[in-house]
């Protein structure tokens, strides 16, 4: 598998240098630079190209990885199988049965206003009377 690269150098290189740069395509840019575009099969080939740029004495401005080129023999079509799905037919009743309505709660549950646990009374049982209330006298 090979990987594509764009190498940008300062100045305009003549097209005859394309062969020396392993067949990379040379494009002259408006800003006075040259972009070399092509693919390399491994890192040693890339380093060889960069060494040639250095040997020419031209300034290296950028090296950019482009999308890797993939040989058509490396591309395998995925095998997709779609299972057959059977969806049962669902029908809604036109009218809700009366027994369903009768069993439904009438509303939200009642909330105790005094916030005491269920089963307790409002008055204290036995002993002394609560503050602010009159105590009844025992009868004999």
Q: Residues 17, 19, 23, CA angle at the centre, nearest 5°?
A: 115
**pLDDT higher than 80, residue 122:** no
pLDDT of residue 111: 56
Q: 37: how many CB neighbours lie within 10 A of its CB?
A: 15
pLDDT of residue 54: 92
**pTM of the predicted model, to two decimals?**
0.48
Give residue-wise pLDDT tens across range 60-100. 999 999 876 555 455 555 666 677 777 777 666 555 555 55
pLDDT at residue 71, rounded to an integer: 52
Fold topology of 3-69: Alpha-Beta Plaits (3.30.70)
Q: How far apart are CA 18 and CA 52, in angstroms?
A: 12
Domain layout of the chain by residue ranges: 3-69
- Could you tell me if 40 and 2 are in contact, meaning their C-beta atoms sit under 8 angstroms apart? yes
Q: Residue 33: is its pLDDT beyond 70?
A: yes
Residues in the chain: 140
DSSP, residue by residue, 55-81: HHTPPEEEEEE-PPB--GGG--PPP--
**Angle subtended at Cα 133 by Cα 114 and Cα 126, rounded to the nearest 5 degrees:** 75
| Residue tagged 């890339």 (tokens) | 46
């Amino acid at each position: 598998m090979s990987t594509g690269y764009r190498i940008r150098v300062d100045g305009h290189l003549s097209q005859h240098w394309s062969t020396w740069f392993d067949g990379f395509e040379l494009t002259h840019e408006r800003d006075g630079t040259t972009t070399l575009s092509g693919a390399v099969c491994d890192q040693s080939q890339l380093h060889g190209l960069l060494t040639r740029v250095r040997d020419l004495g031209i300034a290296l401005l950028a090296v950019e990885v482009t999308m890797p080129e993939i040989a058509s023999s490396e591309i395998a079509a995925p095998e997709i199988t779609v299972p057959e799905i059977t969806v049962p037919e669902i029908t809604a009743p036109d009218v809700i049965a009366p027994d369903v309505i009768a069993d439904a709660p009438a509303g939200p549950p009642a909330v105790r206003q005094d916030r005491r646990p269920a089963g307790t009374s409002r008055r204290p049982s036995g002993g002394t009377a609560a503050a602010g209330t009159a105590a009844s006298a025992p009868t004999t």
